[in-house]
Amino acid sequence: AQTVTQSQPEMSVQEAETVTLSCTYDTSESDYYLFWYKQPPSRQMILVIRQEAYKQQNATENRFSVNFQKAAKSFSLKISDSQLGDAAMYFCAYRSNPGNQFYFGTGTSLTVIP
């Protein structure tokens, strides 16, 4: 079975600084997708970024980028120029291809310090 591990329950970052959230996963599959979701307090969980396993190039979305290391089964999220609105719970997730079910990590609570 697939498992996703987020080893950092809480992280903090100074506004305008850079922070990296860690995620590792375990799978025997070769084709899959990886995601980072963000849930601000009491708000909807939204997709931050996704990565196809067959793509070597790391995904980037504005200030958000990932470091995808397939052999190491690592998928970290880097947030540059952190903003107060980045404060949220961040979940790393895995999904097989094809597949419908997501496997999530336990989440990392990110605090942004003004």
Partner 1 sequence: EAGVTQFPSHSVIEKGQTVTLRCDPISGHDNLYWYRRVMGKEIKFLLHFVKESKQDESGMPNNRFLAERTGGTYSTLKVQPAELEDSGVYFCASSQERVQGHGYTFGSGTRLTVV
Residues forming contacts to partner 1 in the complex (CB under 8 A) are 4, 9, 33, 35, 37, 39, 42-47, 50, 52, 91, 93, 95, 97, 100-107
Look at the alpha carbons of 40, 37, 86, 88 in this order and tell me if their dihedral is positive or negative.
positive
Distance of closest approach, residue 112 Cβ to partner 1, in angstroms: 21
Select 45 or 76, whichever has its Cβ closest to partner 1.
Answer: 45
Distance of closest approach, residue 16 Cβ to partner 1, in angstroms: 28
Distance of closest approach, residue 57 Cβ to partner 1, in angstroms: 15
Distance of closest approach, residue 73 Cβ to partner 1, in angstroms: 16
- Residue 95's contacts (CB-CB under 8 Å, 6 or more residues apart) are 32, 33, 34, 35, 101, 102, 103
Select 11 or 45, whichever has its Cβ closest to partner 1.
Answer: 45
Select 50 or 114, whichever has its Cβ closest to partner 1.
Answer: 50
Pairing mode, strands 88-96 and 102-104:
antiparallel
Select 44 or 114, whichever has its Cβ closest to partner 1.
Answer: 44
Q: How far apart are CA 7 and CA 69, in angstroms?
A: 17
Residue of 62, 58, 60 whose CA lies nearest to 86: 62
Q: Largest Cα–Cα distance of the chain, in whole Å?
A: 42
